[in-house]
Amino acid sequence: MKVTVKVPATTANLGPGFDAIGLALNLWNETEYTISQKAGIQCSISGEGRGRLPEDETNAIVAALKQVFSRARKQVPGLQIHCLNRIPMGSGLGSSSAALLTGYLGGNALLGSPFSTEVLLRMAIESEGHPDNVAPAMLGGLVASLIDEELVIPVRLNSFNPIIPIHITVVLPNFEFPTLEARKILPEFVSRKDAVFNISRAILVTEALRTGDLNLLGAAMEDRIHQPYRLDLIPGAREVMDAARQNGAQAVALSGAGPSLIAFTSRKLPVVGRAMQKAFLSAGLSSRIFELEISQQGAKVSIEENE
């Protein structure tokens, strides 16, 4: 039996939608699970994270898979796992959420799918602590999530306007900015004025992305809750945002907690990525450019039975 799991990258927050809004992107991690006659789990990695990620049972995918088997009260069989990673680690593109879902979905498929998508998503949200990456990675498209104590309601916002395309340029600097550190610097309280500022804009961000109105997106994608604190810790980040806008981007934001910056245009404009990259270089950082589109599809699982 062979199970293949594909999980997309995601960008979260989208300016004012802190911990509540996320978007799936067409950059995919792909993992194959093959049942082996040998006991134990053998894991191999190619692509992003090779040589850095563990290839033993401490790997995040393996740990997540074991959680599913434990929940089902079943023993993990001998497995060979191969991970083809395209989502950069620590980039603000949801690599940890992708790993978590990969383990949950793979384990569930190997067990015969005893758990529903809703149960697996709830497990992932509980593990991550917030839904803004795992929800769009699972469901695809644009997802807004409501959290009330133990209740989590992720809602996929449909009806993207196909007449008005949205192209996304992500520029990832060579800069370590762990998500835990990025969360620690945020203030515990915000003013009523800043809360209202973000609430009004978060609503308009979802509408702008749903309809493809990039002019509205540019006006709405400002934030006072997380970006002002994080941008100052990423060398050149504010200049990079300015460079993107000056070269045709209608909206720019941190991707997740960063350090990636994400720019939105109505068509592919390579000059945007080059300008952003040049601005990072002026701040002493090399960077990589990813030209992406929104993925309307979320995580995919395929099962191949032995003949």
> 203 and 142 in one domain?
no
Range scoring the smallest mean pLDDT among 66-80, 152-166, 241-255: 152-166
Domain count, the chain: 2
Strand partners, 21: 144
Give the residue carrying structure tokens 């945020």. Answer: 186
Does the pLDDT value for residue 162 go beyond 70?
no
> 81 and 67 in one domain?
yes
Does the pLDDT value for residue 180 go beyond 80?
no
User: Is residue 36, in this structure, part of any structural domain at all?
Assistant: yes
Q: What is the pTM of this model?
A: 0.93
Does the pLDDT value for residue 217 go beyond 90?
yes
Q: What is the mean pLDDT of the chain?
A: 92
pLDDT mean over 90-105: 96
User: Is residue 52, in this structure, part of any structural domain at all?
Assistant: yes
> 129 and 13 in one domain?
yes
- CATH number for the domain spanning 17: value is 3.30.230.10
pLDDT mean over 233-249: 97
* Domain housing 212: 167-293
User: Is residue 196, in this structure, part of any structural domain at all?
Assistant: yes
Inter-helix orientation angle 60-71/117-128, to 10° = 130
Q: For position 56, what pLDDT does the model report?
A: 87
End-to-end CA distance of the chain: 9
> 300 and 284 in one domain?
no
User: Is residue 162, in this structure, part of any structural domain at all?
Assistant: no
> 149 and 8 in one domain?
yes
User: Is residue 126, in this structure, part of any structural domain at all?
Assistant: yes
Q: For position 161, what pLDDT does the model report?
A: 57
> 120 and 69 in one domain?
yes
> 230 and 277 in one domain?
yes
CB 21 within 8 A of CB 144: yes
> 138 and 272 in one domain?
no
Strand partners, 290: 170
Rounded CA separation 260/11 (Å):
10
